[in-house]
Every structure is written in C-alpha cells, then in structure tokens.
Structure 1
Amino acid sequence: MRKMCLLGIAISLASSCAWAQTPSVALEHKAAFITDLMNRMTLDEKVGQLRLISIASDMPRELIRTEIAAGRIGGTFNSVTRPENRPMQDAAMRSRLKIPMFFAYDVIHGHRTIFPISLALASSWDMEAIALSGRVSAKEASADSLDLTFAPMVDIARDPRWGRTSEGFGEDTYLVSRIAKVMVQAYQGVSPALPGNIMASVKHFALYGAVEGGRDYNIVDMSPTRMFQDYLPPYHAAIDAGAGSVMVALNSINGVPATSNTWLMQDLLRKQWGFKGVAVSDHGAILELIKHGVAKDEREAATLAIKAGVDMSMNDLVYGKELPGLIRSGKVPQSDLDNAVREVLGAKYDMGLFKDPYLRIGNAEDDPADINAESRLHRAEAREVARKSQVLLKNESRTLPLNKRANIALIGPLADSKIDMLGSWSGAGVPAQSVTVLEGLRAAVGKPGTLTYARGANVTDDQAVVDYLNYSNPNMLDLTNDPRPAQAMLDEAVKVAQQADVIVAVVGEARGMSHEAASRTDLDLPATQRALISALKATGKPLVLVLMNGRPLSIGDQVQQADAVLETWYSGTEGGNAIADVLFGDYNPSGKLPITFPRSVGQIPSYYSHLRIGRPFTPGKPGNYTSQYFDAPNTPLYPFGYGLSYTDFSVSAPQLSANTLKPGSALTASVTVKNTGQRAGETVVQLYIQDVSASMSRPVKELKNFQKLMLQPGEEKVVQFSIDEDALKFYNTQLQYAAEPGEFNVQIGLDSQNVQQTSFQLL
C-alpha cells in the first residue's frame, strides 16, 4: 500500500511515517527536521545511510531488502523499473525509522529514448536541443522510479585516446561550462522534489579527463593555475546551477586520490564553492585507496574517505564494516559521520522523498504493462536533436545532399548495427528499438532510386580486441563479427559499389571502443575498414564517409579518399532516420566540432586554446627552431568549432562600440552574418578573445561566447556580443581571479581558426 506523509504540520504518533514515532518539527523546516531525525538514529542506522549498493552486485535482492529493513542501506543503483524498486522502498518503510531509499542510475544521454552521446550533443552548440535531451531523460527516468542520475559528466577531455571522451562535452572550458549548467537545470527542473525531475550528480570530481596518457583510471598531475583556469570551471558551473550531488573521481590529483583528498572535497568544494549536497564515491573507490597506496587496510581507507568528505560509499562494504568501530574508538569524530549523514538525508529531502517515499514509484496498478513500449519513447525529440548533432566535415563538388532517386550503395560494418547506434552508456535503451543507417535510408529513398547494402568488412578482425570488448558484457555483445572471409566481404562490397551512382560507407568504432576502460594507443580506423575504403575509392564512384565514433579519429588518409565526410558520432534511438535526413538534404547540417581532430596520435594533446610560447610555429613560414613536428603538418586535421553546411555564410569584420573598456562597464562587438548560398541554414558565430600581454602566458585565444542563428538564402543579420570585465578575467599565479589592464584582441568567425580580428584596451 502506498504510504503518504504530511507536509507542513507537526507529525503525530499515528502517522505512517517513521520520523513521527516521537513528536517532531514540521517537515517544511528542512534543517530542523533532519536534526530531529538524526537525534533519533542509532550509530548503525547512521552508517547505513552512507551505503549505496549496486543491484548488479553479488548481494541477492532478498538480502538487500533485509538490509534495507534493518536500516543498513541508504540507496541503490542499477534497478530501473517500478516493480524492482517498490519492494525496496516497502522494506525501507518497515525499518525502525522508515527513512526512504533513493534509486539512482547512469542516465547520461537518454533513458528509454537514447539521444546522441554527450560529445554529439555538444556538437549541436544548441542549448535548447541539449536541454530538451535532458528534460526528456529526466521525465523518462522519473517515470521508471529513478531519483538521481550520475550525470552530467563534465570532465574536460583533450586526449582522445581516453575512452570516456565520448561521455563528456569536449575540450573547451566555456562550452562545457555552459552545457553543465543547462543539463543540471534540465534534470532537476525548478526542483528535484517534483515529479518528472531527478537529481543531478555531476562527475567526475575532479580532473578525470586529464588522466596521464589518456589511460583510464590513471594519475593526474596538474598545476593549480591550469586546474582553476581550464578544468575546474565546468564542475563549478554545475554546482552553481544547483546540482544536488557530485560523484568523486577515481584518479589521484598531484599524488592524492580524489577519494581521500581533503583539499578537493572540503577546502575547495564545500568551503570555497559552498556545496551543500551529497558527495558519492565512484564504484568501489574507497577500497581502492589501498591500491593507490595511501591506505594500508580497509579501516584506514574508510577513515581517509569519511574525513575527506565522501558521504556515500558506492558498492563496497568499507563504511559498513569499519565506521561503527572507528566512531566508537574515537578514530573518526562523530561530527564527521554526522556531517555525511546530514548530507544524505538532505539530498533525500530535496528529492521530495520524505514528503512521499513513493513519489516516482507510484501505485502498482499504474505500472506500465510493457516498460519498453513504443508509446514510452520520444522519437520525434530524439530525431530532432540527432539531426542538430551531426557535423559536415567535407563536401567536395556538392556531393551531398544525395538525390533520393539515385542508385545508392550502402556499405560498412556499422551501417546496420543497432547496438552501436546507441553508443556508450546507453542506459535502459533497447538496441532493437534503434534505427540503423540502413533502415533510415531505406525509409527515405525515393522511386525510382535504389538502395543496395553490403557489410564489406568487420569493424576489426583483431580477435584480441573483439574478445576484450565482449568480455565485460557477454549478455549483450558489443562486437559480433561476420564469419565470412575478409576478401569475400570486400569483393561483395566492390561489386555492389560498381553498380551504384554513389557510395555511402558507414565506418568508425564499435560503441565499446569508445567507453569506460576503452583507452586506445592509436586513433586510426581499424585495418579492415581502411582496406574497405581504399577498395571503394578505387571504383571511381563518389564516396561519402559516414563516421560513427565516440572520439576524434586520425582519418587524414580517408578524408583525402572521400568526396564527403559526415561526422554522426553515435546518434541514438533515431540515429538512422536523422542521418538520412542530413544525407538527403531534408535537414541542413549545422553542427560544429566541440573537440579538435588531430592528424595523428603524435599531435596529442591537440586543442585550440593552448598557451602562447616563445617560439611558435607559423604556417607558411620557415619552421626551423620553432615549436613543431618536422615530419607532419602542425595544424589539426579539423579545428575546434569547425563544421560545414549545405549553404555558405559570410562574416563581416568585427566592429566595436568602443575602443576602450572601463572596469564595471561593457562594450559590444558586432558582425554581420549573411547566407550567401541557395538554401536556408544555421551556423554558429563564435567569439574568441586573446589577452595580448599579461602577468603570465595566456592562451592564443579563448571561446567567450557564441550564437547559433538560422538564415534564409540571401538573408543577413547583425550578431552582437557584449564583452565586460568578467570575460577578461583569469586565475593568475596567486590564484587570484582578476582581469589585468592592457590590450585584448577580439576574434569572431565560424570556427576557431577562420576568424577576423579587432582590438580594444582595458583601462
């Protein structure tokens, strides 16, 4: 039976909710309510609130419910339906104090409906589209009884060898910070206590995207100025937006693991930034302090983590085993335990669970008959966002858009892969419900046009790679190879291609190749796919490459072979239809890269906002004794912010409303943008600023604003950007955040390289 609790009145002994076992304060007074509840909790009940248990762990469900009823579990994750979670909440309502459970899950880029991966969302540069993906995700997750998502992931990623590049929003501090705010607000709405909203847990705090060598779980060694200037702002933006939780990173920071890092968790997060939410360890991270070499045993690991400010222990037994004894012995102060419990209870309060433990679980009679019913999906929204997330990288001789009446050869190992369309961390998404490129093109091609398909190659024939990718998830294989000989598949593809007017080759990575624990030492396409592309090029037919991948790839040779290249990333449930929309011109691509594409792995790290140096390489000038690689071009394959359209745009030279800027005031930078092509289209106008001379080396340029606008053929608009002192501030060597007087260059263009410049003085 569903139990309800009363809001805003003193709770009586007769109430069904446990905190009413003795007279207490009104539920509407959060701090007093939680203090009153804590005063009635035993030591074991307090420790129990700090345990976050995975339903996928070795603990049987019956034992989990027994532990919950005994007050020894505070929350769970990896159960994603009402029938799964209702019995656990029932168990909590049988506990002595009836403190409600919360239920969490990784809702990263969709729940039932899968949207494009986060890196693709960032490629849209469209805050409304990104917010739409978050709102739909929250609604679907809430409808499945989930209270919290471990998202958004806002780690700055500048080394694409790191597999989790796919899970974040790219390389740029400003862009990722904007998206962090949008996603938190989309998940939580006006309040995470309302139905349809869920709490956001921003991750991974902190600096996880800077792991050395791009190798997952590795160390991070970074100067304080780089931390504060480049890597910390997105987390801060998410917290300023009201994120109710943070997930602590697995990496160490300058030798101290984040899970035991008092400076990170206490001094910075809580004292400097004022964070009041719940801090959750990553999976098994407290126990891993022993392997980090900072704790000699589980007892010391628990001590370090609780003192650092890690409130909840995810999927290990360390807190449950060790904290009661540590408290009783005085090794851990009672205040450290109480602080953590207060944050956990506060998060549950903010989720609305004390008011109604069944807020998102609902009544059994209202459970969906089929959790995967088509009626529960949001296909139109997913298709719209997926269209906006694609980036046109090359389009020689107007190869695209395709003619629906043409004879098209669709070839490639990813052209008909439902599971790969979903991408990494696809949550509760069902591969069978995704639309492949083959299905999307079949639905769109017109008469008398034809579409002929051949696989052409496997993603890779390296059996060691296949075995590795399939090891972690044997029930849903990430990579299933065609058993036919490679030459037989290649011959079939060439035969199909020779009979076509145009070839569309869908190539890239299997989704498991761009995932957690999927770091790579090279960024080339696998050899099987390179051979396929060369064979298709040899037919002499126009060749369109459709990329499916979760990181930048070094595809310089393949770009040279192709007539057109469309970056689609992993586009989600409606990916095939969205890709068909772009290929056939029903939608004009408008995406821009949120991360630099290097020419080779040897250029890594390759990002646009690097610091200025004393001997810079200048393209077109002699390179001897300048900072360069002498054996390859030094420019990226594709720069940050790059992306083409089926139409053309011009941007005028920037004009400033004033040549000087006084502290406390603002000036306006303006450009006129014109659609000089033959069809309507969107583009992203980007504002960069360069600090010409400062007390320390500053980046060659930094993104400070952007606007996405739609223009009809021949239409022009004036785009204005306001620039104030805050846009010029940076963290100096004393970690003071301030702007310094002097000259600043204003650069405006359609990507980070093709800009026009003017300047002003800050007085």
Structure 2
Amino acid sequence: MLSVCLLFLFSLEAFAQNLTVKHKLKIISAGLCLLPFFWACDGAKESASPVEAQVENLLKRMTLREKIGQMNQVSLGNVDELAVAVENGEIGSMLNVTDPELVNRLQRIAVEKSRLGIPVLMSRDVIHGYRTIFPIPLGQAATFNPQLVEDGARVAAIEASSDGIRWTFAPMIDVSRDARWGRMAESCGEDPYLNAVMGVAMVKGFQGNSLDNATSIAACAKHFVGYGASEAGKDYNSTFIPERTLRNVYLPPFEAVAKAGCATFMTSFNDNDGVPSTGNTFILKDVLRNEWNYDGMVVTDWASATEMIPHGFCKDRKEVAEKAVNAGVDMEMVSGAFLENLEKLVKEGKVSEKSIDNAVCNILRLKYRLGLFDAPYVTTGQSVNYAPEHLAKAKEAVEQSVILLKNDKNVLPLGGNVRTIAVVGPMADAPHDQLGTWAFDGEKSHTQTPLAALREMYGDKVQIVYEQGLAYSRDKRTDGIYKAVSVARKADVVLAFVGEEAILSGEAHSLADINLRGAQKQLIDALSNIGKPLVTVIMAGRPLTIGDEVEKSDAVLYSFHPGTMGGPALADILFGKVVPSGKTPVTFPKMVGQLPIYYAHNHTGRAPSGKETLIDDIPQEAGQTSLGCTSFYMDAGFGPLFPFGYGLSYTTFNYDKMALSAGKLKKDGTLTVTVDLTNTGKYAGTEIVQLYVRDKVGTVTRPVKELKGFQRITLQPGEVKSVRFDLPVSDLSFWNIDMKKVVEPGEFTVWIGTNSDEGLSADFEVVD
C-alpha cells in the first residue's frame, strides 16, 4: 500500500518538474490529501480492487457510532429489541439465529431500514457438522485424510448456509497435549503439522471455491493462541509458553490457515505470560498483521474481552475496549464493551478513529467477500439436511477414524462361526451421546447407533441379544451388570460399548481423572471373566487411561465420538466389510500423572537408554542410584500406553528398502525418501505411512521426532508399492537461539514407519 502511495507521489513530482514551485507545491499537496484514501484500511491488499473500493466508499459515509456498531456481535435474545438495534446500525453480527425466516426478517431490517443498508453477518458454532454430525475433530484427525476432512466441512457448510448461517467458529487448531483438557475433543490433536494440514482442509471445506458462493461460510481459526497448553489441563487456565515454543509449536497451524485464506481469527480465553490474548498486541499486530500480512477479521471469544477484568489486566469495561481495540481486535463477541465505550475513548484520544476504521474495514471486507451486499437473504424451504450423500460421507469419515488398538488371535473381524452376539454397555444405544461435544444442531432422532445398525444390517445373519448393563457412562449401580453377564454367557462373542457421554468432554469439561467412569470398569471386569471373546468398543471425546480394559479385552476399537453415522460404520468394521485404518492423533497415557504427554518432546540429559526398573521390581533398601538416575516414572515407566500415530489393521504391512536421494543436501535442496510397502496379510487394507525427522544438534534443543508428512496407501493382499516423500530442506527450519527462523546445517535422522515409535531410519546431512 505504501509503495502505491509513493509511486503516485513520485509520478506527480515528475509531472510537475517543468512547473513553477508554487504549482509544484499545489500538486504535491493534492497528492498528499489523497493519502488517507489509500491508508484508511491498513489490512487492504489492493486499494484499487473492487472490494476495497466498495469498503472505502462505504466507510467514508459512516458515522463513528455506525462504525462501532459493526464491531458489535450479539447473541439471539429479544427479537424486538434486536430489530431496533439492527435498524440503528448497532449490530454487525449475530450469533445463534438458525431459523431462516428470522434470518431474513432481521436481514431485511438491516438492508432496507437501516441508514446504510449494511447486512448482518449470521454466525453459529458449526464444529463437526450442522445437522449431519461427523466425528468430533479429534476423530477426524485420526483419519489422517485431509480430503475427507475437507469434504466433511463442505457438508457442514452446505447444511448450515441453507438456514442463513454464513460464519462458523472452526477450525480449532490448538495444539493439545493434555487429555484432561476437555476441549482436546475439538482439536486435531498434539502435533503442529497434523493440526496445520487438517485446519487448512477444514478452511477449504467451509469456504469452498469462493466465499461469495451461497453455500460457503467463513471459517474462523481458533483459539489464537496457546489455549491448548492450559495449566493442569484446566479450561480457561493460564499458559506460560515462551516465544520460541510459541513460534515452533503453537503458531504454525495458524500461519498455515492464514496463508490458506481463512476469513477470520478468534482470540483465546487464556493469558500467556500474564497477557490475555484479547489484549495481546504481539500476537495480533506484530505476528498476525505485520509478519503474516493477514487481512481477515479478528473476533474475540465469547466475552473474552470483558473477562480481561477478572484476569486483572483491565480495571473496567472502558479499559477493556481500549486495550482490545488498540491490540488489534476488530469485533467483540457479546460483551458489549465496545459499543458502550469506544465513542468516549475516541473523544479522549485513547483510541484513534484510524484504529476503528481499520477494524471496520476488516469487517466490511468480509461481508463483501461473502457476497452479503448482493445476496443478503436465504432461500427458505430448502431441504439439504441429511442428504444421502451427506450421510454416506459421514459414514466414511467414521470408518476411517476408528482405531484398532488390539486384536488378539484375530478375534476381529467377526466370522461365520459367530451365531449369537451379546451387545452390552451404556454406549451401545446412546443416540445423543455418540454425537459428541459441540453438536448444537444434531438431532438424536437421526442418529444411527451401533445396536440399531447391527440389528438392521446383520440381524438376519446372527442373533443379537442386548442388555445395557449400565444406564449411562457415569452409572455406578452394579445390579445391571449381572444381567449383562447372564446374556453374555449365552453368546459366541461379547461386544461391550463403553466410554464417555458427550457432556464429559468439550468446553469447560476438564477432568482430573480420565479413567472410564461409573461402574464401567466393573462391567469389563465381569465380562472378561466368563471365557467368551470380549470386544470392547470405546466412544469418547479424549484418550482415556484404559490400560486395564485393554489387557482384559481380546480386541479394542477406539472411536472418538463418531456422530450421526457411528452405528453403521462400526457395524461394518466389526464384521470386516470395512478394514480399520485410523491412527491415534494424540498419545494415549498409561496414567493421568504422565500428562501432558506427547511424542515430540525434547530429550533430557538423563533420557532412559535401557530397561526401566518399575516400582514393584525395586528390592528393599535399594541404593539411591540403583535405578540408574534416568527420566521416567517408577509406576508408569517412560513410554505411553499407545504412541502417536498408532493403529492396527485386520491385515499386516511390511516396510522395506528405505532409500534416500542423497546423503548431503544444501539448504535449497529437497530430500526424496522412498520405501517399499507390502501388504503381507489376508485383507485389502490401508496403511498410513508416516515420515518423521530429527535434527540431532541445534543452537537450541530439538524434539526427538517431528512429523513432516503422511500418506494413506491402500494395498491388496500381497501387493507391493514404492512410497515416495519429497521433503524440502526448508521444512527443517525452526526458530533458533537468536529467535530467527532458519535451517541450521548439521546431521539429521529421518524415519518412515507405521507410528511415531516404530520404523526404518537413515541419516543425512544439511550443509551450507
């Protein structure tokens, strides 16, 4: 923008060379007078573009009060009061209006009765589906299939936009490494790269090929930034993330979606190092605007602006408005401090009108890009919810998200020798709870549960007997367990569906204990003692500490809350029509005391190198140094229950002949890594081949492994395929001891394997 302005002035000066000094000054002065036109919207990429011209023209006609009104977002309340505020130009966006008739009524007031006719932006939390509910985002991440994730967001956008919703608050790309935190369910797990890939996929799905398409909805990257590192896994808690860790771990997913065109960003609830995100100039201006050149819109989280008062960062609502706007916030969600105080703050010189203009430009730009000025109304009477193709895509997402954690003696898939199946457990027929958290508009009447699906799809082939055992996941009454065991004794195989109700995960639903709740452990104990094959299917919003249950089960399937089509997908997996391929998007701890736990940790100076001596193996009166003085828990050891990227199949895969294109590369080079993958089993199946790298020595310590790529490879029995990864050396960059993002020369190790803990490896070197 500045270059355009300077070029304009230089052109005027050149033109004026043959004129008198007096005329030169007049012409240059005229040019300077035009600079505010160029500079009114700092976020604009091209002031000459049609959208920017429209934004500038509208901004010049707005009063200060009308500008501040655009910065105000409210939730659905008294409709008559809202109508008056809309007509007065005091509302820029509304939350939670899902009735298309009401959307049109309010929009008509905004467009036809307000002074400037600026449409209202209608928004809603559409997180993993609107009516057709897909697996929770953590489950979608388990697919390691960004195209399928994009397709799911597209379905959600089509359904939500049919009711007039044009803005959603997803994707949530908080790197999440502590399963006590309930909002892990809404994330894509612990890895920055996986969060980035899945976040970009969701943005593409929500926003479609063009924002102004009637079926597109604006995406919102949240929560900016570091929210997933809340201390002790307790929601809304403080974080302490040093800048280097912030840049190396927590910012990369947000940078990826910003570059992918994510329309909006949302500030997070937490304070980091004492500064709440909603008032954090460093992340909102220095990083987001100045480093990334982001021209989208920034909104607070629900009342996170006024929550800076209980944080102790602001003394009152007036200071809230001052600090938030000066930090770079454009729109305030529901708490109303902007509308209440910004006029006074401008008059007092504490907030400049230029800052207001910048915020309003970002808001208006989004509305123009969405096409709201040309097409503000929604067509009523549409019927796109639960379309057959939507349900089919949701089922496919579940099929690829389910993780096979154990399968002793190939109990699964269920074969022809199975005549009677006992279905037990509180999650076998829980249509509300299998939808998971953040499914505001999902309808349990459309949910297809495992029990219903097994009966409908396979009831003509096997006898299915059902005894719930426990009424719900927290049920502590054990009288029903006897009935479940009695039914199980008469069956050839037992399917136990356990886990978490939807209410046990999500926002404000943190847990200090992540074991199975209620009497579910007693149920699994009782079923494991009757001598029948026990298949445990767990539906939950987070990884649970299920070591005992895994040990007592013959097979274990893990399904992060699967949504509307969970039942049919699980039924087909159980009977082998679908071969599981999901992988853990987070590390599963053995005990809650291991949290936070993640694969990409740094090595300590005392990393374990040999066998751990656990607490029950320690001899009495052992010497203080007899355990080797290494970094591990005496009661849990060093490793997790299941590592990141783990998941079995009904078939088996072999990795062989790993090769590198070069042993030494320059910083502008690309390393090609190949490996032969063979399906050595009896079933066609899909393996998720994973590429990891370690920088052995750096100016700061580096993680033991970092995910740099993955591919879903489907093979027939006996089929061999050469799998190729092209790894640009630039992808090895990190923020070094001088806080600069660089690739440092040195030695590296690269792995290709089936999870973060197993694989073939080779070394290479990067040179200057």
Say yes or no: does 1:417 pair with 2:430.
yes
Say yes or no: does 1:700 pair with 2:712.
no
Aligned pair in 2 of structure 1 residues 161, 752: CA closer, same or farther (>3 Å)? same
Q: What does 1:680-695 align with in structure 2 at a 5 Å threshold? A: 680-695=684-699
Letter in 1 for 2:574: L
Q: Is 1:458–1:529's contact at 8 Å kept on the other side of the alignment?
A: no
Question: 2:432 aligns to what SS in structure 1?
Answer: helix
Say yes or no: does 1:394 pair with 2:406.
yes
5+ unaligned residues in a row in structure 2: which ranges? 1-46, 614-626
Aligned pair in 2 of structure 1 residues 460, 141: CA closer, same or farther (>3 Å)? closer
Distance, in Å, in 2 between the alignment partners of 1:385 and 1:459 is: 25
Aligned length: 706
**Deviations 1:413-472 (Å, cap 9, x if unpaired)?**
1110001111110131111100111111112225451111111124455xxxxxxxxxxx
Match of 1:614 in 2: 605
Letter in 1 for 2:369: D
Deviation at 1:728, TM superposition (A): 1.5
Q: What does 1:33-432 align with in structure 2 at a 5 Å threshold? A: 33-55=54-76, 59-93=77-111, 94-358=113-377, 361-362=378-379, 366-368=380-382, 374-375=386-387, 378-403=390-415, 405-432=418-445
Question: 1:750 aligns to what SS in structure 2?
Answer: strand
Percent identity, aligned pairs only, is 42
Q: Is 1:311–1:341's contact at 8 Å kept on the other side of the alignment?
A: yes
Alpha-carbon RMSD? 1.6
Match of 2:34 in 1: none
Deviation at 1:81, TM superposition (A): 2.9
Q: Is 1:646–1:679's contact at 8 Å kept on the other side of the alignment?
A: yes
Match of 2:756 in 1: 752
**Deviations 1:313-361 (Å, cap 9, x if unpaired)?**
1011211111122122222111111111111111111111122222xx1
Deviation at 1:621, TM superposition (A): 6.1
Distance, in Å, in 1 between the alignment partners of 2:134 and 2:679 is: 30
Q: Is 2:591–2:636's contact at 8 Å kept on the other side of the alignment?
A: no
Question: 1:645 aligns to what SS in structure 2?
Answer: coil
Distance, in Å, in 2 between the alignment partners of 1:606 and 1:374 is: 38
Distance, in Å, in 2 between the alignment partners of 1:639 and 1:731 is: 26
Distance, in Å, in 2 between the alignment partners of 1:265 and 1:90 is: 34
Question: 1:35 aligns to what SS in structure 2?
Answer: helix
Q: Is 2:162–2:384's contact at 8 Å kept on the other side of the alignment?
A: no
5+ unaligned residues in a row in structure 1: which ranges? 1-25, 462-480
Match of 1:13 in 2: none
Distance, in Å, in 1 between the alignment partners of 2:93 and 2:173 is: 24
Question: 2:560 aligns to what SS in structure 1?
Answer: coil
Q: Is 1:124–1:389's contact at 8 Å kept on the other side of the alignment?
A: yes
Q: Is 2:667–2:730's contact at 8 Å kept on the other side of the alignment?
A: no
Question: 1:506 aligns to what SS in structure 2?
Answer: strand
Deviation at 1:619, TM superposition (A): 4.6
Letter in 1 for 2:335: D
Distance, in Å, in 1 between the alignment partners of 2:387 and 2:714 is: 32
Deviation at 1:27, TM superposition (A): 11
Q: Is 1:152–1:200's contact at 8 Å kept on the other side of the alignment?
A: yes
Letter in 1 for 2:761: Q
**Deviations 1:343-392 (Å, cap 9, x if unpaired)?**
1111111111122222xx13xxx423xx6965487211111111111110
Letter in 2 for 1:380: A
Say yes or no: does 1:723 pair with 2:736.
no
Match of 1:672 in 2: 676
Q: Is 2:203–2:262's contact at 8 Å kept on the other side of the alignment?
A: yes
Deviation at 1:489, TM superposition (A): 0.8
Distance, in Å, in 1 between the alignment partners of 2:168 and 2:602 is: 36
Match of 1:710 in 2: 714
Letter in 2 for 1:367: G
**Deviations 1:666-710 (Å, cap 9, x if unpaired)?**
221110000000110000111111111221111111111111110
Distance, in Å, in 2 between the alignment partners of 1:612 and 1:751 is: 19
**Deviations 1:87-128 (Å, cap 9, x if unpaired)?**
110110210110111101111111111111000000000122
Match of 1:589 in 2: 580
Match of 2:497 in 1: 506
Deviation at 1:223, TM superposition (A): 1.1
Match of 1:490 in 2: 481
Distance, in Å, in 1 between the alignment partners of 2:122 and 2:329 is: 19
Distance, in Å, in 2 between the alignment partners of 1:74 and 1:220 is: 31
Q: Is 1:394–1:563's contact at 8 Å kept on the other side of the alignment?
A: yes
Match of 2:467 in 1: 454
Q: Is 1:78–1:104's contact at 8 Å kept on the other side of the alignment?
A: yes
Distance, in Å, in 2 between the alignment partners of 1:130 and 1:388 is: 11
Q: Is 1:613–1:697's contact at 8 Å kept on the other side of the alignment?
A: no
Q: Is 2:132–2:385's contact at 8 Å kept on the other side of the alignment?
A: no
Q: Is 2:631–2:638's contact at 8 Å kept on the other side of the alignment?
A: no
**Deviations 1:481-503 (Å, cap 9, x if unpaired)?**
6xxx9232111111111111111
Q: Is 1:686–1:749's contact at 8 Å kept on the other side of the alignment?
A: yes
Question: What's the TM-score once normalised by structure 2's chain length?
Answer: 0.90
Question: 1:119 aligns to what SS in structure 2?
Answer: helix
Aligned pair in 2 of structure 1 residues 376, 430: CA closer, same or farther (>3 Å)? farther
Question: 2:142 aligns to what SS in structure 1?
Answer: helix
Letter in 1 for 2:407: N
Q: Is 1:459–1:508's contact at 8 Å kept on the other side of the alignment?
A: no
Letter in 2 for 1:427: F
Q: Is 2:454–2:568's contact at 8 Å kept on the other side of the alignment?
A: yes
Question: What's the TM-score once normalised by structure 1's chain length?
Answer: 0.91
Distance, in Å, in 1 between the alignment partners of 2:385 and 2:677 is: 45
Match of 1:6 in 2: none
**Structure with the greater alpha carbon radius of gyration:** 2
Q: Is 1:409–1:502's contact at 8 Å kept on the other side of the alignment?
A: yes
Match of 2:20 in 1: none
Distance, in Å, in 1 between the alignment partners of 2:436 and 2:655 is: 36
Deviation at 1:631, TM superposition (A): 2.0
**Deviations 1:600-636 (Å, cap 9, x if unpaired)?**
0011111001012211013536752111111222211
Question: 2:306 aligns to what SS in structure 1?
Answer: coil
Using the TM superposition, name which of 100-109 and 657-666 deviates more.
657-666
Q: Is 1:51–1:312's contact at 8 Å kept on the other side of the alignment?
A: yes
Letter in 1 for 2:453: G
Distance, in Å, in 2 between the alignment partners of 1:666 and 1:35 is: 44
Question: 1:554 aligns to what SS in structure 2?
Answer: coil
Match of 1:648 in 2: 652
Match of 2:51 in 1: 30
Question: 1:288 aligns to what SS in structure 2?
Answer: helix
Q: Is 2:691–2:750's contact at 8 Å kept on the other side of the alignment?
A: yes
Distance, in Å, in 1 between the alignment partners of 2:479 and 2:526 is: 13
**Deviations 1:279-309 (Å, cap 9, x if unpaired)?**
0011011111110101111111111111111
Where do 4+ consecutive residues of structure 1 move more than 3 Å? 371-377, 458-461
Match of 1:662 in 2: 666
Letter in 2 for 1:129: L
Q: Is 1:410–1:454's contact at 8 Å kept on the other side of the alignment?
A: yes
